[in-house]
Amino acid sequence: MSEKWNITLKVSRQKEGQTPHFDEYKMEVDPDEYVLDAVERVWAFMDRTLCFRHACHHSTCGACGMRVNDVEKLTCITYIRDVTHNGATLKVEPLRNFPVVSDLAVDMGSLYSRLEQVGARSVLPAPEAEIENPPATWNAADQQYIRLADCIECGLCISACPAAATSTEYLGPAVLAGAQANGLKRNPELLQIVDAEDGVWRCHSAFECTAVCPSFVDPARRIMDLRSQVVKERFRSLFRKA
Amino acid sequence: MDPKHNQPSPINFWKWFNPIGRQAGGWAFILNRITALGLTFYLFLHLLVLGQLAIGPEGYNGFVALMRNPIAIAGEMLVVAAGIIHGLNGVRIVLTTFGVGVTRQKQLFYSLMTAAVIAIIVFGVRMFTA
């Protein structure tokens, strides 16, 4: 028989014209269920007006990002056992730095349009993808393979980034990571976009993006690498003929 | 619904100081902001004190005598601590920006802050026993 916990799910609610507030739902859960299961249970059995985003339930779509007890989590892979305990409260809020559409659902349009702006790719040719133990040289047969990019565009990094909290124009960690994966050598036009006040230089090295990323993109490392690329390109341009 | 709710805004700067839910890099970020503000405040205070020179030797000597009490020394100790923490945190940022220790930034932060604590203790002992 599976273990049962009694928890109070404290959900941030906000509909049009309302100020944000919390509603509490008491429920019995299996601690090995995911946080998203508890949120869905509220919608299914307690309150059909609860609005939230979800789709794949296996950390591929990036839709169910929320703040769970003040930390950004992909709720479909976050075990209830890991974020609360029996008899305790579990707080769920929408991601920060995106406009709230309703309750836990936020408008992530700004992230998607900026990813397009830097030409972030959903799939990469295998030799360009960062993989563990890559071959020293890629043979012709293996070069034909493509690999899904690690970033699932969940927006957790933008929500966790303190620099993103104060500037609407900051490209943000996911977008800069997408630009880094493209590379300035291959896409010189990216230089103007990322070498700007709201590009790589807005990052203040808090590394919160990497800490919350559920997909091991490591945006902070990529931003630092992009900075190096920017400095190298600018240095090279000094010696280039006009 | 207020369309600006939950969106980035310069007035959100106060959220920089909220440590809840933050991790090592976030704490480093918060520490850097607090110490920077403290050092900036001290700079103004320092200029104010230097202004005492304009009054003459009596005014300045009187102020220096006042600064010898333990509360004033503790205040100076805070300035030293802020300088050390901010400086060493800056070293972490410079190193990671140039690609050094990026994947080990937590360890880098903990190591530098350990060095900061040791330096602060050494300074503290010297200042309070001088």
Q: Which of A58-62, B97-101, B113-117 comes out lowest in average pLDDT? A: B97-101
Whether B97 sits inside 8 A of A227 (CB atoms) is yes
Q: How confident is the model at residue A172 (pLDDT cuts 50, 70, 90)?
A: very high
Query: Which of B1, B23, B98 faces A16 most closely, judged by CB atoms?
Result: B1
Report the gap between the CA of B29 and the closest CA in chain A (Å): 5
SS3 string, A13-62, reads: ECCCCCCCEEEEEEEEECCCCEHHHHHHHHHHHHCCCCCCCCCCCCCCCC
Q: A79-102, pLDDT tens digit by residue? A: 999 999 999 999 999 999 999 999
CATH of domain B22-129: 1.20.1300.10
Residue type at A138?
Answer: W
- The C-alpha torsion from A179 through A180 and A186 to A187, rounded to 10°, is 30
Query: Within a 10 A sphere around the Cβ of A106, how many other Cβ atoms?
Result: 25
pLDDT at A2 over 90: no
pLDDT at B3 over 60: no
Report the gap between the CA of B119 and the closest CA in chain A (Å): 24
pLDDT at B58: 84
Q: Does B26 touch chain A (CB under 8 A)?
A: yes
pLDDT at B1 over 60: no
The sign one gets for the Cα dihedral A69, A70, A73, A75 is: positive
* Average pLDDT over every residue of B101-109: 94
| Residue-range domains of chain A with CATH | 5-106 (3.10.20.30), 109-238 (1.10.1060.10)
Q: A45-65, pLDDT tens digit by residue? A: 999 999 999 999 999 999 999
Residues of B in contact with A15 (CB under 8 A): 1
pLDDT at B25 over 90: yes
Residues of A in contact with B25 (CB under 8 A): 205-208, 210-211, 220
Backbone region of residue B2 per phi and psi (left: phi > 0; alpha: psi in -120 to 50; beta: other values):
beta
Whether B99 sits inside 8 A of A228 (CB atoms) is yes
* Average pLDDT over every residue of A153-177: 96
pLDDT at B2: 56
**What does the domain layout of chain B look like in residue ranges?**
22-129
pLDDT at B67: 82
The whole-chain average pLDDT of chain A stands at 94
Q: B43-86, pLDDT tens digit by residue? A: 998 898 888 888 888 888 888 888 888 899 999 999 999 999 99
Whether A18 sits inside 8 A of B16 (CB atoms) is no
Report the gap between the CA of A5 and the closest CA in chain B (Å): 24
pLDDT at B127 over 70: yes
Of residues A130 and A79, the one with the higher pLDDT is A79
pLDDT at A134: 85
Q: Residue A101 and residue B34: Cα distance in Å, rounded?
A: 34
Residues of B in contact with A168 (CB under 8 A): 7-9
Report the gap between the CA of A2 and the closest CA in chain B (Å): 30
Q: A174-223, pLDDT tens digit by residue? A: 999 999 999 998 899 999 999 999 999 999 999 999 999 999 999 999 99
* Average pLDDT over every residue of A152-171: 96
Query: Within a 10 A sphere around the Cβ of A113, how many other Cβ atoms?
Result: 10
Residues of A in contact with B100 (CB under 8 A): none
Phi, psi (degrees; rounded to nearest 5) at A73: -140, 150
Whether B6 sits inside 8 A of A98 (CB atoms) is yes
Percent with pLDDT over 90 in chain A: 83
Residues of B in contact with A94 (CB under 8 A): 6
